[in-house]
Structure 1
Amino acid sequence: MGRRPNRRAQPVRPLPSPPRVEAGPDGYDYHVRPVPAARAEKTYRCPGCDHEIKPGTAHVLVWPAGPGGVEADIDDRRHWHTPCWANRANRGPTRKWS
C-alpha cells in the first residue's frame, strides 16, 4: 500500500528574482524587484495611483538605489502596481517618498 500525500504540505514558493536597477525620471536610480502573484500575501497601497494592491496581485517592489545597496532600509521600500511604475513619468506620485 502506497503512502498518502501529506495534506499539510505547503506549496513550494518561487524564490524572489534579483532586483534590477532602473533610472527614474527624477534623475535617481531605483532597485526594482518583481513580486509574483504567488508571493503577494498582503495588501499594500500603490503610491502611483493611491489604490490598494490586493493579495494575489503581481506588482513590483521599489526602493532607492543608494549607499544601502540592495539591502536598503525597509522604510524606503514601496510596492507599486506594475503599470503605475512603468508610467510614473507621465504623472507624479500621489504620495511623497519620505
Structure 2
Amino acid sequence: MARARRPRQPHVPLRSASYTRTEGDWIVRSVPGSTASDRSYRCPGCDQLIPGTAPHVVAWPAGEHGSVDDRRHWHATCWAARDRRGPGRRRY
C-alpha cells in the first residue's frame, strides 16, 4: 500500500535572514542581497542608487514617532560613515 503524500508547502523566506538592531536613535536592519527585492533605492549618504539585490542597510527612527514612511535604504559603508562626513552631508 502506497503512502499518501502531503502537498508541498510554498517556500517562505525566514525573517531571521536580516539582522535588526538599535543604534542610538535609530533602528537598523541589515538586508543581505539574496533576500532583497529587485527594486532600486537611493542612498541618502552618497545619493547613488543601491540595486535591490545588493546587500544594504535599512534605518528608521526609533520610538513612537518613527514610521514605515521614515525608512531609508543605505549602503552599509555610507551608514557606517554618516557621522564622519564633511560639510554638506545629508542629515537623516
What's the TM-score, normalizing by structure 2? 0.73
Q: 2:55 aligns with which of 29, 43, 58?
A: 58
Please tell me the residue identity of whatever aligns with 1:22. Answer: E
Residue of 12, 28, 33 corresponding to 2:29 = 33
For structure 1, the 5+ residue unaligned runs are 1-9, 24-28
Q: Which aligned runs of 4 or more in structure 1 are off by greater than 6 angstroms?
A: none
Please say if 1:80 is aligned against 2:81.
no
Does the 8 Å contact 2:19/2:29 carry over to 1? yes
- TM-score normalised by length of structure 1: 0.69
Distance 1:57 1:18, change over 3 A: closer
Mapped partners of 1:55, 1:64: distance in 2: 21
Distance 1:61 1:39 in 2: 13
Contact 2:19 2:31 in 1 (8 A): no
Distance in 1 of aligned mates of 2:52 and 2:19: 21
Say if 2:61 and 2:67, in contact at 8 Å, map to a contact too: no
Amino acid across the alignment from 1:73 = S
Q: Distance in 2 between matches of 1:46 and 1:73?
A: 18
How far apart are 1:40 and its partner, in Å? 1.6
Between the aligned residues of both structures, percent identity stands at: 46
Q: Distance in 2 between matches of 1:83 and 1:11?
A: 32
RMSD over aligned CA atoms reads 2.1
